[in-house]
Amino acid sequence: MRIQQSGGGAAGVELITAHALWLIRHDAAATAISAATDALVEGNDSEALRELAGMPTDANAFELGALIDESLNSLDLPTSGMTEDDALVIATRHFAQQVIAGLLPIREFTAWAHSVVGHTGPSLAQEIVELDDLYDAFEGGWGEEPDATQTLERFLEASLPAVQKWAQFRTA
């Protein structure tokens, strides 16, 4: 038995991320447009994907959200049950991957996590939130510089099931 990911492969995961960003009221347009374009390139096709791929990055947030949902449904990736905590973990994962890729400074990421996820957010993301506190202490002259790489790697490993939950795997 072979396991295949349904719903557009990597582009589907990127579209799930765009939905999570939209759900937490973060700018999701660029991620959504890129995901829709990638889904089309990967051979998926729907009116919603085509519309989303051609949408301007300054599009109306409600129109964007509707097209993200329609595109996800066209890929058989419904996310209507995604909670804000689910979305926070997926968004945090997205930004952690950007830090690892060198596209986002670690301090900008940890400050975002502290202000958006916060100490009352999902337990899975708390080590990232606390990393901001460790950097604050270090910059204030207390303690050693945090090992962000190990923290990010632990978080990425622990948060993978949160994305897989929405990426729906099926047997072929």
Q: How many residues does the chain have?
A: 172
pLDDT in tens, the chain (172 residues): 222 344 568 899 999 999 999 999 999 999 999 999 999 999 999 999 999 999 999 999 999 999 999 999 999 998 989 999 999 999 999 999 999 999 999 999 999 999 999 999 999 999 999 999 999 999 888 888 898 999 999 999 999 999 998 886 433 3
Amino acid 5: pLDDT: 43
What is the per-residue pLDDT for 35?
96
pTM, two decimal places = 0.89
- Record the tokens describing residue 150, joined without a space: 């190990």
HEC string of 112-146 equals: HHHHHHCCCCCHHHHHHHHHHHHHHHHHCCCCCCC
What's the confidence (pLDDT) of residue 144? 86
